[in-house]
């Protein structure tokens, strides 16, 4: 079993990094080489800007290369929750932004010829309890009436045609959602940005920034540059002068396992429609097929950080959860097990904007493959004088009380969610 991301292990490493010295002046410094940063760099380069992408590790090394590879439309929460809090019009606009994110990923795959097995397989949200099905049904009724008539309910009696388990009580289908090989996508996106003229510097952490008359001086171990504008696309990075961000984002561990390849007969029994699947528990689990017919199974196995020992322990928990859903996989070999950190905001919605002359987009809260790609492209427009295009422009972002970067409260939060899953 490899304790590394399947997506990164089965995609070609990024090999278009710049060898130029880090000095001189740039139009934009993009901090972070994941999906947000690579998408922004590509959009900015297409505008003719001189761009430097400053990535602390390697392209896609963090959340962008450690997720489930699901490109899902719709919110992490139920539509009814968002509509109730922000109003129907705002909820519809935000919902359409997630749709636009999936559309943009598909368009970039086609335009830049990124070989990442993108496919509109749909997302199935499964009711872990009978009462959860009723909640999903009410949400779908509003969705269909207001913003997404393609959604539909799958009753428990028909569930076997979608997914081969009796563990759940029906579900809500989002047909627009897609799956892809996210490692090949993020590295392909960065390659497209470099091909378009952006300079991509791996292993170049930002250590300091300060305002200067020409913009911002950005200091790295490899030198200093002056950039007229800076975009923070760094997620929950613990490197560099990002204290303001760290007080507003909680780094929550997410863990995944990938099985050996399944046989065609197993796929037909267990995943006949090849959907992206997620359930309704607070300690959520999700699964899908990889392009080479393995089962990827992930979730919040533990409220802990990621390291080899933690990942292996979480992998055992996920294997047990997978067997609870699919008993016939009890003997399946686990070939990959890894973890990463999700950049959670308090309300599980992204944040993007500008503060003290520094632009930022992050906080995708485990639902960001499509939104991060969209927001990279949108932030290029925002920085070019079009702030009204930012769907999150009116969202305030207060600090989380008692949170200063180290999530000391995660074990308490994990215990609370386990209790909620037992009683609700």
How much of the chain exceeds pLDDT 70, in percent? 94
The pLDDT score that the predictor gives to residue 407 is 67
Question: Residue 403 falls within a domain, yes or no?
Answer: no
Q: What is the mean pLDDT of the chain?
A: 93
- Given the structure tokens 């309300």, which residue do they identify? 347
User: Does residue 122 surpass a pLDDT of 90?
Assistant: yes
Give the total number of structural domains in the chain. Answer: 1
The listed range with the strongest mean pLDDT (76-80, 164-168, 237-241) is 164-168
- Given the structure tokens 């081969």, which residue do they identify? 164
Q: Count of CB atoms within 10 A of residue 283's CB?
A: 18
* Burial of 423 from C-beta contacts in 10 A (0-12 / 13-18 / 19+): exposed
CA distance 98 to 73: 5
CA distance 392 to 372: 12
Span 287-291, average pLDDT = 98
The pLDDT score that the predictor gives to residue 77 is 84
Higher pLDDT, 246 or 240: 246
Q: Count of CB atoms within 10 A of residue 111's CB?
A: 10
Phi, psi of 396 (to 5 degrees): -75, 170
User: Does residue 186 surpass a pLDDT of 70?
Assistant: yes
Q: Number of H helices and number of E strands within the chain? A: 11, 18
Span 281-290, average pLDDT = 92
The pLDDT score that the predictor gives to residue 408 is 63
Question: Residue 279 falls within a domain, yes or no?
Answer: yes
Chain segment 317-357, per-residue pLDDT in tens: 999 999 999 999 999 999 999 998 888 898 999 999 999 99
User: Is residue 96 helix, strand or coil?
Assistant: helix
Question: Residue 363 falls within a domain, yes or no?
Answer: yes
The pLDDT score that the predictor gives to residue 304 is 67
Question: Residue 178 falls within a domain, yes or no?
Answer: yes
The pLDDT score that the predictor gives to residue 422 is 67
Tokens at 282, concatenated: 């607070």
Question: Residue 378 falls within a domain, yes or no?
Answer: yes
CA distance 265 to 260: 14
Q: Which domain holds residue 384?
A: 6-389
Which helix or strand (DSSP H or E) is residue 308 part of? helix 308-325
Chain segment 291-304, per-residue pLDDT in tens: 999 999 999 766 66
Sheet of strand 250-261: strand arrangement: 152-154, 171-174, 123-126, 276-279, 285-289, 294-299, 250-261, 334-344
Question: Residue 186 falls within a domain, yes or no?
Answer: yes
The pLDDT score that the predictor gives to residue 252 is 83
The pLDDT score that the predictor gives to residue 134 is 97
Question: Residue 25 falls within a domain, yes or no?
Answer: yes
User: Does residue 165 surpass a pLDDT of 90?
Assistant: yes
Please give the sequence-ordered ranges of beta strands (E in DSSP) within 75-142, or none if there are none.
Answer: 123-126
CA distance 227 to 216: 5
The pLDDT score that the predictor gives to residue 84 is 95
User: Does residue 237 surpass a pLDDT of 80?
Assistant: no
Chain segment 103-121, per-residue pLDDT in tens: 999 999 999 999 999 999 9
User: Does residue 236 surpass a pLDDT of 70?
Assistant: yes
Question: Residue 265 falls within a domain, yes or no?
Answer: yes
Chain segment 365-421, per-residue pLDDT in tens: 888 899 999 999 999 999 999 999 999 999 999 988 887 767 665 665 566 556 666
pTM above 0.85, yes or no: yes
Chain segment 9-62, per-residue pLDDT in tens: 999 999 999 888 899 999 999 999 999 999 999 999 999 999 999 999 999 999
The answer to whether 232 and 209 are in contact (CB under 8 A) is no
Higher pLDDT, 103 or 311: 103
Q: Binning pLDDT at 50, 70 and 90, where does residue 167 land?
A: very high
The answer to whether 252 and 49 are in contact (CB under 8 A) is no
Higher pLDDT, 77 or 272: 272
The angle that helices 130-146 and 79-86 make with each other, rounded to 10 degrees, is 60
CATH number at residue 353: 3.50.50.60
User: Does residue 424 surpass a pLDDT of 80?
Assistant: no
Tokens at 112, concatenated: 């830049």
Tokens at 400, concatenated: 């989380």
The pLDDT score that the predictor gives to residue 247 is 87
User: Does residue 251 surpass a pLDDT of 60?
Assistant: yes
The pLDDT score that the predictor gives to residue 239 is 73
The pLDDT score that the predictor gives to residue 410 is 61
User: Does residue 86 surpass a pLDDT of 80?
Assistant: yes
* Burial of 164 from C-beta contacts in 10 A (0-12 / 13-18 / 19+): middle
């Amino acid at each position: 079993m490899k304790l590394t991301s399947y997506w990164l292990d089965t995609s070609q490493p990024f090999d278009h990094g710049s060898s130029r010295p880090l000095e001189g002046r740039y139009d934009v410094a993009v901090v972070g080489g994941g999906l947000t940063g690579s998408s922004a760099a590509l959009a900015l380069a297409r505008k003719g800007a001189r761009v430097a992408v400053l990535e602390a590790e390697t392209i896609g090394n963090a959340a962008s290369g450690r997720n489930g590879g699901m490109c899902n439309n719709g919110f992490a929460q139920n539509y009814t929750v968002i509509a109730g809090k922000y109003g129907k019009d705002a909820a519809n606009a935000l919902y359409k932004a997630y749709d636009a994110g999936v559309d943009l990923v598909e368009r970039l795959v086609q335009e830049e010829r990124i070989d990442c097995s993108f496919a509109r397989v749909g997302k199935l949200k499964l009711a872990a309890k009978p009462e959860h099905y009723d909640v999903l049904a009410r949400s779908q009724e509003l969705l269909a009436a207001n913003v997404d008539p393609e959604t539909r309910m799958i009753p428990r009696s028909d569930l076997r045609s979608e997914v081969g388990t009796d563990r759940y009580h029906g579900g809500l289908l989002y047909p627009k959602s897609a799956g892809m090989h996210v490692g090949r996508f993020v590295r392909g996106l960065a390659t497209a940005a470099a091909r378009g003229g952006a300079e991509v510097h791996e292993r170049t952490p930002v250590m300091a920034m300060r305002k200067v008359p020409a913009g911002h001086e950005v200091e790295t171990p490899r030198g200093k540059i002056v950039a007229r504008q800076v975009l923070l696309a760094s997620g929950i990075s613990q490197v560099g002068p990002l204290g303001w961000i760290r007080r507003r984002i909680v780094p929550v561990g997410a863990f995944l396992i990938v099985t050996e390849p399944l046989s065609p007969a197993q796929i037909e029994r267990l995943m006949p429609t090849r959907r992206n699947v997620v359930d309704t528990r607070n300690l959520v689990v999700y699964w899908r097929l990889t392009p080479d017919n393995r089962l990827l199974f992930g979730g919040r196995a533990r409220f802990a950080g990621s390291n080899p020992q933690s990942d292996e322990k979480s992998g055992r928990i996920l294997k047990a959860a997978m067997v609870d859903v699919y008993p016939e996989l009890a003997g399946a070999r686990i070939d990959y097990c890894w973890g990463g950190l999700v950049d959670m905001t308090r309300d599980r919605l992204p944040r993007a904007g500008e503060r003290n002359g520094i632009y930022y987009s992050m906080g995708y809260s485990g639902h960001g493959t499509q939104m991060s790609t969209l927001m990279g492209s949108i932030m290029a427009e925002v920085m070019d004088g079009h702030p009204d295009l930012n769907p999150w422009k009116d969202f305030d972002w207060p600090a989380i009380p008692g949170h200063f970067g180290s999530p000391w409260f995660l074990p308490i939060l994990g215990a609370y969610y386990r209790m909620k899953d037992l009683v609700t």
